[in-house]
Structure 1
Amino acid sequence: MAKELKPFWSNYFDFNWKFGLFLILLICIPRFILVLNANETANYGYIGLIMMVSAIAPFIFLSKNGRKAIGLTTPKNRHWLVLAILWGLIFSVFLYFLGELLYKDSFENWYVYIGKSYNIPTGIQPNDKLVLFLIMAITGMIFSPIGEEFFFRGLVHSSFAKSVGNTKASIIDGSAFALTHISHFGLVYIQEEWRFLTFPTLIWVLSMFLVSILFYRCRQKTTSLWGAVICHAAFNLGMIYCIFYALN
């Protein structure tokens, strides 16, 4: 039987939960620190780098058979690609209304806090705002969906699934995904000090866990990671649209 890992890595790892845990520690801890640093310094250059590393990780570690095994294949059930777009948009808009209902325009609203990183100028002209929105939307629909889905729903999920099955693996990769996103919202940098927003963080982490299950479901239904990528891209598009045009 062909091995998932390339020969070099097979000398050190088996494709199982231990490899999955190694990947989480290797990628998620540095990413968490880099995002916190970016929130403090407003220098987000390294975030793109960590997404690039996440995206190419399957090509670094896995053989051709391994990449196929984690879902880097042509999607099937093409109608589910349309459903993936719709569900991603719906979930992002739901999170907008939930944040507005609970926290209005305060920094306890996850979209408000994330939106400050976009540096949207006050009084920006509509055409300039549209250009900035398109730049942010295109970037947000490419880098994090590919990087995160190749990593979480691909490498991490499949390595754990080899040991504990798909259901438990989806809980594990979803939990890792959700907890990693505390660096994006939850542990926040406001007025030159760090704060931990307990209840908003719980809602945010639960939301990120649920949306990760949605991404996995789209991967499952399309038999391809591209189903998860498309759903994630649609979610990011909806989130960025809400930040630019729906927030007060």
Structure 2
Amino acid sequence: MESYLRKLWTQCFRYNWKLGVFLILLFGIPRFIIVLESYVSRSYGLVMIVFLCMWFAPFVFLTKHGRKGIGIKRPSQWWKPFVSFIFGGLSCFLIFGLLYFLYDTSIENAFVYIGGNNPTSGITGEDKLIYFWIAAIPSMIFSPIGEEFLYRGVIHGSFVSEFGETKASVFDSLAFALTHIAHFGIIYTFGVWKFLPIPSVLWVVSMFFVSQVFFKCKLFSDSIWGAVAAHSGFNFVMMYCIFYLL
């Protein structure tokens, strides 16, 4: 049986849940700190670098056979990633609708807080459309590829052999959801850090839900690109909601 893990790493790890936990901490802790800092500095440059590092995780840790095993391959049918993109977008609309219903445009709404890091919120007309695409395009590329390669790819695969596909998706979804507390839950406003217990729980549950959507889209497409497309659709709609619905 061909190995999933590169020979370099087999001296320290087996491709199992222990490696998965190691990768969750290796990427999650620095990402958490860097995202929190970005809300103070209002700069996402370092966050983009973290996502780029996630892009390379399957190539650093896994063999060609391993990368194919976690889903880095062509979708079973070309149109399935497009359907996945739509499902990802719809899941974002559902979450936006719930949070808007509960919190309107207050800071307890995750979309409001995340959108507050965008200094172009007061711009209108054609300029607003330009800034929308400037924000939307990177958000549809960097985090969808990076996070799906890592969470629905390498980390998910590390749990599969012992726990199976369904339970493995619970572990990678929990890791994905909890790290998003850095994006919303612990907030920086008026020069002070605050923790919002109930809104943060809703946000974590929402991120767990969309993680499951991304996982289902991966299965639907028989490829990690289904999850990437769904994630890209989610981020596209999130940018639309922030720019045009708030």
Q: In which range does the TM-score fall when normalised by the shorter chain?
A: over 0.9
**1:238 partnered with 2:242:** no
**1:162 partnered with 2:161:** yes
Aligned letter for 1:226?
W
Name the counterpart of 1:11.
11
**Contact 1:92 1:238 (C-alpha < 8 Å) held by counterparts:** yes
Aligned letter for 1:133?
F
Q: CA deviation at 1:40?
A: 1.6
**Contact 1:77 1:221 (C-alpha < 8 Å) held by counterparts:** no
Name the counterpart of 2:70.
70
What are the residue-to-residue correspondences of 1:92-131 with 2, within 5 Å?
Answer: 92-122=92-122, 124-131=123-130
Q: Which runs of 5+ in 2 are unaligned?
A: none
Query: CA 1:90/1:121 → structure 2, altered by over 3 Å: closer, same or farther?
Result: closer
TM-score (norm 2): 0.97
Q: CA deviation at 1:119?
A: 1.5
Name the counterpart of 1:190.
189
Identity of matched residues, %:
46
Q: CA deviation at 1:125?
A: 3.4
Query: After TM superposition, what 4+ stretches of structure 1 lie above 6 angstroms from structure 2?
Result: none
Secondary structure of the 1:105 match is coil
TM-score (norm 1): 0.97
- In the alignment, the residues of structure 1 paired with residue 198 and residue 160 of structure 2 have an alpha-carbon distance, to the nearest angstrom, of 31
Secondary structure of the 2:187 match is strand
Secondary structure of the 1:106 match is coil
- In the alignment, the residues of structure 2 paired with residue 121 and residue 155 of structure 1 have an alpha-carbon distance, to the nearest angstrom, of 37
**1:132 partnered with 2:104:** no
- In the alignment, the residues of structure 2 paired with residue 120 and residue 99 of structure 1 have an alpha-carbon distance, to the nearest angstrom, of 22
State the Cα deviation string for residues 61-82 of structure 1 (Å, max 9, x = none): 1110110111000001444323
Q: Which runs of 5+ in 1 are unaligned?
A: none
Aligned letter for 1:56?
F
- In the alignment, the residues of structure 1 paired with residue 61 and residue 79 of structure 2 have an alpha-carbon distance, to the nearest angstrom, of 31
- In the alignment, the residues of structure 2 paired with residue 219 and residue 118 of structure 1 have an alpha-carbon distance, to the nearest angstrom, of 31
Aligned letter for 2:116?
K
Secondary structure of the 1:71 match is coil
What are the residue-to-residue correspondences of 1:22-101 with 2, within 5 Å?
Answer: 22-101=22-101
- In the alignment, the residues of structure 1 paired with residue 239 and residue 95 of structure 2 have an alpha-carbon distance, to the nearest angstrom, of 12
Name the counterpart of 1:171.
170
Query: CA 1:231/1:12 → structure 2, altered by over 3 Å: closer, same or farther?
Result: same
State the Cα deviation string for residues 28-74 of structure 1 (Å, max 9, x = none): 01100110111122122110000000111111111101101110000
- In the alignment, the residues of structure 1 paired with residue 42 and residue 65 of structure 2 have an alpha-carbon distance, to the nearest angstrom, of 40
- In the alignment, the residues of structure 1 paired with residue 227 and residue 215 of structure 2 have an alpha-carbon distance, to the nearest angstrom, of 6
**Contact 2:84 2:226 (C-alpha < 8 Å) held by counterparts:** yes
Aligned letter for 2:234?
F
Name the counterpart of 2:144.
145
Aligned letter for 2:168?
A
- In the alignment, the residues of structure 2 paired with residue 31 and residue 111 of structure 1 have an alpha-carbon distance, to the nearest angstrom, of 20
